[in-house]
Structure 1
Amino acid sequence: MRNRCEVYWNTHRKCFSIKPVKGTPPLIGFKCSPSGRVLYSTGPFLLERPFFRVSEAGRQWVIKHQRKTVHATIRGHIKLPAKLQLPKHARRVRYNPYRHDSFMTDRGAIEEANVAYFINNEVWVT
């Protein structure tokens, strides 16, 4: 069985929060929240076949109230390789709800990719 999860940037802890999808086997190698439902990591780890999702209603709430809330996530199958090296052709992914309505790379908006690399609190895709 594959380890499906949802990843988002945790602004309070300054790291990625990893929320396993129901029915996913326990993930090992991450720091766990007190409730046990969310895992924390600064990387390195990767997601295979990631899908980048932004809730427009959540984004509009952030813009209106000028407060942060979780409304943008990356979903995919998580892997913890023994050694993770970023490919040279990888593109950095960014998201700013005040400037764009989707995740962005230097080539424009991105909705999905082959692999997303989470390294040193940054997201890269190939």
Structure 2
Amino acid sequence: MISAIDDTYDSYGTIDELEIFTRVIERWDIKEMDELPNFMKICYKALLDLFDKHEEELRQHERSFAVHYAKATMKEPARSYNIEAKWLITGYMPPFADYRANGFITSTYHVLATISFFGMNSAAKEAFD
């Protein structure tokens, strides 16, 4: 999912479309899908479905609280992918410090770390906090 979202920002959207995509991901609500161009609807729906599936699976183990954290961390790279797309589309060359700070987020370290806790029964809510 991360790769599909990254590719959407890197190769397929205009600045205006990517702004909408970012805003819709931030809201994380299926009702927002109508705002998206058709080609983005597929990716957004798959994202929501994936996290709904995780939530259902984790609910059976009384760990559905973990999905809230994963959704929050998934929003971070979307915001940063949008920044990178604007830089690329407009031809802006950011200072290295800005590029590095944004790149840390787009490396998706936070997302992957959070999601890896899904399968760890010993990872209580405090670990996510």
Q: Where on the TM-score scale, by shorter chain, does this alignment land: which range?
A: under 0.3
Q: Which has the higher strand share?
A: 1
Q: Which has the higher helix share?
A: 2
For the pair shown, which has the larger CA radius of gyration, 1 or 2? 2
Structure-1-length-normalised TM-score: 0.28
